[in-house]
Amino acid sequence: MTLSFTLFDTAIGRCAIAWRGRCVVRLQLPEDNDAKTRARVLQRHPAAREAAPPRQIAQVLNAVATLLRGTPSDLSFIMIDMEGLPIFHRHVYQAARAIPFGAAVTYGELARQAGVPGAARAVGQALARNPFAIIVPCHRVLAAGGKIGGFSANGGAATKLRLLAIEGYKIGPAKSLEKWLRENHAPSLFDSPASADV
């Protein structure tokens, strides 16, 4: 199946998305200019061809752009292609997708939620290789003690802070996700049947 990509406008600049069929293969945050963003996609996916997005992918672009304007947007409908990714990364990405808009957790907590307590460093390494920026919201994962932690996208920690600010998150000690869900009267997303289907 053909691997395609396109660039699209957001409040933080022109992002890129690569897809195969109805599944997102990569969501690339903006580089310094379009040429660099395009080159980053082609570096990872040299066979990708630039194309107009089909309807399902256009819906993804709209949802991501909405979220990047600071409006909560449910991205759980987006299908991501994790074929070829290590099983550990798949578990981490699935757990990270459950972190709600405006919330943040620590690497240690995400490790526990992914079923690998004590693997905070490995979780950080998996998130550094996250090919689905925003869809897998690695910007919502902080170091212990409210420290920002790393971020591998262009701009590093400053970009991470900007994404958190867009969502209205105030930097400080990250709350337990379970505590955040209780305070906001939300069901635990980690207990849903979908989270076990990794």
**Would you name the residues annotated as active-site residues?**
138
- 24: which 2 tokens? 């997102």
Q: What distance in Å separates the CA atoms of residue 189 and residue 186, rounded to the nearest whole number?
A: 8
Give long-range contacts, CB 8 A cutoff, 24+ apart: 182-188.
184/100, 186/100
Helices (H) and strands (E) in the chain, counts: 7, 6
CB distance 140 to 103 below 8 Å: yes
| Residue 89 phi, psi dihedral angles, 5° rounding | -60, -40
The DSSP symbol for 174 reads P
8 A C-beta contact, residue 131 and residue 27 = yes
Asked if residue 49 lies in contact with residue 38, where contact means CB atoms within 8 angstroms, the answer is no
Angle at 121 between CA 120 and CA 122, to 5 degrees: 90
DSSP string, 136-148: B-GGGEE-GGG--
